[in-house]
Amino acid sequence: DNTIGGHLNEVLLIQDETGMMNVFYPHDSSEAFLSRIGDLFQNDREQLIRILRYGLGLYAQAPPVIEQGLSGFADLGELEDLFADIAQHTTVFPAWVLIYIEAHQIDDPEVRSLAEQIRSHSLYPVIERKILEPLAIRTAEQLGFAEPDCACELFLWSELKAGVVTRELLESRYAAIREGRRYIFQVIDGRETFHLVSQTGYLLTRLAKQRKLQPRSQENELSGQVAWPGIFQGRARVVLSLDAQGLTISPDEVLVSIQSSPALMPLLQTCGAIVTDDGGIACHAAILARELKKPTLIGTREATQRIQTGDLVEIDTYSQVVRILEKQQL
């Protein structure tokens, strides 16, 4: 990230059985990046504030450009520059600032507020809708691919830029995904590799210790993936049905469900926070969470089994956990 002079140029993304992408950074790179953020806190706080304010300002500057869709860009290079700017300033930097604040118990309300404001919004849904999906569909149609609506998940940006996307490539990857194969994506020193494999569970287990946030072994905690940031405490309402027909929930309750299905929208709109077992429609779940702007933890795998209606729970997305504070008395 050229924003602060630190670099996270190596990353490994592995899709799990729920469909979610698990992100791993080398320990040394992560520590060096956090150290650079710490240096800004201690020696150049004004620069830290400037970077965050620039990121917040992108929410006013970028939408008019994005709304033009593909017609607003001369070439893929212009698109890439915009994406890099948005990724660095609205995702990477504020997220790691919050991680640093939590890890080191930093008491800086102004910095925290700016970072949380940035992370409480997202430009990715409109980028996907206005630019990425139309670009992928157009590319697939030009190649004669029979399932253009699925093309966005079948090739890399670097492959598109290099002109190596072919109908045969799309067809082979589409068939592999239909067979249940999962993604592994890796970047090392700017070189990307992409594979579709039959099993990722063993690899995820091997790499779990590398993550700073480990799956919790405590009886009263479950870990998951953050779909929307925040902390919320309330009584759980466990919903196992696939729709909201005949069901109600209050704003001070936490919806605990198998997945954030669109059919549950009346409950999702009313509840105070969301916890799900599944991440199989992770992209959709993340978009819903961004639209609703409620603390959301997905992919816990067993929340509906371990949490009961009436339990007092706390969602802490900055620690990637939901805590069971008090069990409902039977």
Task: Enter the CATH code of domain 213-326.
Answer: 3.50.30.10
DSSP 8-state code for residue 131: I
Laid out side by side, the sheet with 296-298 consists of 221-223, 321-326, 312-316, 231-239, 253-257, 273-276, 296-298, 225-228
Q: What is the rounded distance in angstroms from the CA atom of residue 161 to the CA atom of residue 138?
A: 14
Domain parsing of the chain, residue ranges? 10-201, 213-326
Contact 275, 239 (CB under 8 A): no
For 49, residues 6+ apart whose C-beta sits below 8 A from its C-beta are 110, 111, 114
3-state secondary structure of 5: coil
Nearest to 25 by CA among 36, 35, 11: 11
Contact 239, 248 (CB under 8 A): no
Nearest to 175 by CA among 135, 144, 202, 145: 145
Per-residue pLDDT tens listing for the chain (330 residues): 556 666 677 888 888 765 667 788 888 888 888 999 999 999 999 999 999 999 999 999 999 999 999 999 999 999 999 999 999 999 889 888 988 998 888 999 999 999 988 887 788 878 988 999 999 999 999 999 999 999 999 999 999 999 999 999 999 999 999 999 999 999 887 788 899 998 887 677 667 544 444 444 467 899 888 888 888 999 999 998 877 888 999 999 999 998 776 678 889 999 999 998 876 434 345 557 777 888 899 888 889 889 999 999 999 887 889 999 998 876
The residues facing 155 across adjacent strands are none
The residues facing 193 across adjacent strands are 186
